[in-house]
Copies of this chain bind each other. A is one copy, B any other.
Amino acid sequence: MLKEMQTYLQREGFRVLTACTGKEAITITLSERPDLVVLDWMLPEKSGIDVCREIRQTSHCGIIMVTARSDESDKIVGLEIGADDYLTKPFSLRELASRIRALLRRLRGPEDRPMFLERDNLIISEAKCQVFKDGQEIQLTPTEFKILFTLAGRPGIVFSRLQLLNAALENEYMGYERTMDSHIRNLRRKLGDDPANPQYIQTVYGFGYRFGERS
């Protein structure tokens, strides 16, 4: 079960560490400082509740509690001790991934994320859903816009096709990965990016794509 979860989440583009006991979980959380912890209520050595409490003392990372009981009072206890979300067994891996994404998004929060991104002569305005190059507006489709926004939001960071698709379609994407290639192609064309030597959207062979950092 743990192994499955790990595999699935990695496919979804997350970096996953696992722990089998509460103690281990705490150690890893302290040393690796993950963005988010998925915690089973029942654990050997230490109950999930204790682990949750302990993590909370030193970290603001997201915590999702997983439990077999659907008891409403458990949920309240769970959230009270500092969990951010609560999931009842049985649940699908898809649902878990979706909750994780939602929580991560929430944690990043209303943050002072700028309303637009820019690089060189390219400006991407989220609020206006517009992209300008050299002051000229470039017409993008919704999906293209979201992909570009995701990429450009973290220049230099490599995104897998699946990550991009999920970011753009804002939920579980259930299709052909090669779809992304088409979008990338269209984006490069519209941005005037030479496929042989792209300045904006660079392909990272075997991994995915990244937005080039300042030229």
Contacts and interface: CB of A to CB of B under 8 A. Distances in A.
A93 interface: no
Q: Tell me how many chains of this kind the complex includes.
A: 2
Interface in A58-104: none
Interface in A97-140: 112, 114-116, 118, 123, 125, 127-130, 132, 135
A205 interface: yes
A142 B206 CA distance: 6
Given A24-B118, A142-B205, A206-B142, A132 B17 contact: no
A176 interface: no
A49 B114 CA distance: 26
Contact of A141 (B10, B135, B206): B206
Given A142-B205, A142-B206, A206-B142, A28 B129 contact: no
Contact of A17 (B114, B128, B158): B114
A31 B204 contact: no
B24 A129 contact: no
A132 B27 contact: yes
B31 A123 contact: yes
Interface string A1-40: 0000000001000011100000010011011100000000
Given A10-B112, A17-B114, A31 B125 contact: yes
A127 B112 CA distance: 28
Interface of A: 10, 15-17, 24, 27-28, 30-32, 112, 114-116, 118, 123, 125, 127-130, 132, 135, 141-143, 156-158, 204-207, 210
17 contacts: A10-B112, A16-B112, A17-B115, A24-B118, A30-B135, A31-B116, A31-B125, A31-B132, A32-B115, A32-B125, A32-B127, A127-B156, A127-B157, A127-B158, A129-B204, A129-B210, A143-B206
